[in-house]
Structure 1
């Protein structure tokens, strides 16, 4: 009788353990695709330099992309942004700088900005598209935020972004 009871307890434990193991495996695999989509050599979000910008009364936590490799990667592979988090692109020349959304997993809004901090254009961009988004005016900065951020905050062309670094 003891053997039968032990066997029954062991089988019951196994019946409970298998679904838990499957759930743990699923959770691990569910978290990995985001990690696996970032190719070797890509910068992790926390590896970009950061600075605080202001747009009206709003403080923006901006990652800074000021080198060619950083600008090429931008917000690619990210699955989310914090509510007032974005990425500031700093260019070496005053020109029309176009953007696209290849490998960018979240929809974004982009503000194109002159050297004096004035926003010239704002565009809405869909995730994972190859459409070009180009400003009508020359500029040295672009600021990407979660889609709809600028309109939700009442930030429009003609307004200024404060705290911008000097262009290189």
Structure 2
């Protein structure tokens, strides 16, 4: 029973480390169906505090997802795409206090005591990617998607993770109207 519980905790930890958490915000009343073309907001992309390699990975992933949504890259866009990045350290503490027992006697010094008290602490660096969509004519932010996920270290894993994060973020665009 103890081994099964430990295995379930490890599986839950691994699953929680692999997921991308996303959220969105947008300007209510915006008619998103009017937007068909896009370009990058150079100032926003240039100010992103990441390597040029990571910028290229993000922009390629955005191009793929925008094309899949029917958007066309244009010199005269309806929407400007900007990015912002950040990172944070995530600390997870898992207490495994499963089990119980009795001390000797019920008097002095006796009573319940726990066995198998294990505390596990994991630290993970998570990347945060903001994708902003700006109305090109009005110069107003109309939509923002945010994705947070653990970072990867090899170039191949970085490409895979970047594609996953961007896809998860842009899956929420355009926002679906609430009934």
Flag the structure with more relative contact order, 1 or 2, with Cα contacts below 8 A and sequence separation at least 6: 2
Question: Could you tell me the TM-score, scaled by structure 1's length?
Answer: 0.24
Give the number of the structure whose residues are more often strand, by fraction: 2
Question: Could you tell me the TM-score, scaled by structure 2's length?
Answer: 0.22
